[in-house]
Structure 1
Amino acid sequence: MELNLEENKHLNKECSTLILPALSIGNVGQLAVDLLIASSKAERIGCLDDPNVLPCVGNDAYSFSTQGDLVLPLEAYESPANALSLIQQRSPVVKGMMVEFAKNLAEFAVASGKKHVIILSSLDFGRWQTIDMSSGLQIYYLSNTNADGADDQCEKLGWKRMKEYDPNQKLWKYLDNLAKGNASQDDLLLLEDDLGEEDYYPSLPFAAMFSCFKAKDIKVTCLLCYCSEGDNIPDAFHLADAACNLVGLSPDTFKGNEGGKWVIPFSWQSVYGPPPDMSLF
């Protein structure tokens, strides 16, 4: 993975916390990163080039200008005033190359001096075993602070550890060995006939990313929420709020953001396409 810096831009050593999405159902992680970039007034410093990410191109996602800058599949942003680095991913990873992509991300994080990586992602609501909506939308987390995935700070924030994480379960263990270079992709063929429901979670992109950052001894925290396909904007606000709480920020404390409110990205105006042609009715 190579970072192509824009003219007169450079990596800021003070931005030691990296927030990025892991693609999953409803694209909630990407939408949450959109909110964080727009609200923190983060500036794009460059594009990341990785052969494992499918190509795409589009217009500027955050500017109201009629002539914006082109956006690419993988971009790096920084908000020095808030000590944050952010990566936005706009296209999926080539099938079968998720672990290689995650390894490249982990190497980039090490090379750029990141101390804490926060991964934002979503889980399929249909697999939620214990449904309790009494406290509203629930944030689940996974951390490498302790061997069982627990983290005291996350617990104090009222989040629930992802109970499906078991470092001794075969697929989680395989991911860990693969991230450390002690296994190969071919070894997965030996496991495929024995995979069950419990293997859903370690098969998701966030799990590969978690394992690869963990293998590099970088502090990594996954923030997760259950959702279904549809209008996932409320879930994105919820996940972005959680990321802010973890790093001690909020829209009220974002420097350069007047009014203390979330800034809605310009690209969200067309998230669900244009309104219907009323002449049809």
Structure 2
Amino acid sequence: MFISSQNSKHEAFKDFTLVMPAVAVGNVGQLAVDLLVSTLNMSRVGYFHTDCLIPMAGNNPYATCKEDAEEVHTPAEVYTATELKLAVLQIRAPIIQTKSKRFRQQLVSWIKASGFSRTVVLSSSHAYQRDDKQLQGTPLRYLATPSLLKGSADALKELGWREMERVAAFPGLTDTDSEPRLYIPGGGITKGLYTDSCAVDLPLAVLLLFCSEGDNIPDAFALVARLNDWLHLLDNQSQDLQGKWKMPSSWSLLFGSGIPPALF
């Protein structure tokens, strides 16, 4: 359930594009959304209230001064850039495993009721579980529901992106009766949300990278750059486009604090 901020006059998202992450391997989607919110100076307009996420609270991850840092933030918050007709739902906590299906249902219901023109899910998948075809070329893949393809098929074709391949349920076997399936290991709710969206005719796209756990900041930059190629959020003519993305203050502690001097 979306709860609007008291100081927010933004009540409707009709014709807005929604960008949201899947809690997936390397947290690449969440890091990419951090870059969007920080760079575009997006305003918090509310939060997503649900018991499907592990409860948590923390300081403002996008603080620019001491006063901002004292704000309390929650596991799932909504930000907007009205001039771009862009909204993002940032998810900062893991989904409770037994409530994954209910969380997807809540998301789909909210997206449909809000009137978003399209939804883009930023996600990732285990690089080590790729099959032979997926090892070739770029690590970027996409998925699009039939509803989204009605208005964006040409744009996606011009970008030259590769659609996520379907893989054999039992690789190595020659059983022709086994149909290829959509398999996104490490992708969290990505597959389920895509399947649910297809079933209810929701215009949704998934943009994901194959990656490994570790320093996933470069993966986040790569993913948000590919998103920008499609949505044109920043000037694509710049030779230093990566330099235009602003890292939030919270990233200074992405790998914890420094090494204690007492160790030496």
Give me the TM-score of the superposition, normalised by structure 1.
0.78
**Structure 1 residue identity aligned to 2:63:** S
Q: Which runs of 5+ in 1 are unaligned?
A: 170-196, 254-258
Corresponding residue of 1:155 = 157
Corresponding residue of 1:48 = 48
Match of 2:94 among 92, 95, 99: 92
Matched, 1:209 2:193: yes
Corresponding residue of 1:116 = 118
Contact 1:116 1:220 in 2 (8 A): yes
Mapped to 2, the partners of 1:251 and 1:21 lie a distance apart of 23
**Structure 1 residue identity aligned to 2:208:** L
Mapped to 1, the partners of 2:110 and 2:167 lie a distance apart of 26
Corresponding residue of 1:142 = 143
Mapped to 2, the partners of 1:251 and 1:138 lie a distance apart of 24
Give the C-alpha shift of residue 249 in structure 1.
2.4
Match of 1:230 among 193, 196, 214: 214
Corresponding residue of 2:259 = 276
1:206-229: per-residue Cα shift (whole Å, max 9, x none)?
Answer: 111112233332210000100000
Matched, 1:264 2:247: yes
Corresponding residue of 2:176 = none
Contact 1:56 1:91 in 2 (8 A): yes
Corresponding residue of 1:189 = none
**Alpha carbons of 1:147 and 1:31: their partners in 2 closer, same or farther (altered >3 Å)?**
closer
Contact 2:167 2:181 in 1 (8 A): no
Overall identity of the aligned pairs, in %: 30
CA RMSD of aligned residues (A): 3.0
Query: Per the alignment, in what secondary structure is the counterpart of residue 107 of structure 2?
Result: helix
Corresponding residue of 1:77 = 79
Match of 1:128 among 123, 127, 130: 130
Give the C-alpha shift of residue 38 in structure 1.
0.7
Contact 1:40 1:82 in 2 (8 A): no
**Structure 2 residue identity aligned to 1:71:** H
Contact 1:15 1:79 in 2 (8 A): no
**Alpha carbons of 1:122 and 1:34: their partners in 2 closer, same or farther (altered >3 Å)?**
same
**Structure 2 residue identity aligned to 1:81:** E
Corresponding residue of 1:57 = 57
Corresponding residue of 1:32 = 32
Give me the TM-score of the superposition, normalised by structure 2.
0.82
Contact 1:20 1:118 in 2 (8 A): yes
Contact 1:19 1:86 in 2 (8 A): yes
Q: Which runs of 5+ in 2 are unaligned?
A: 170-179
The number of aligned residues is 245
Give the C-alpha shift of residue 165 in structure 1.
7.3
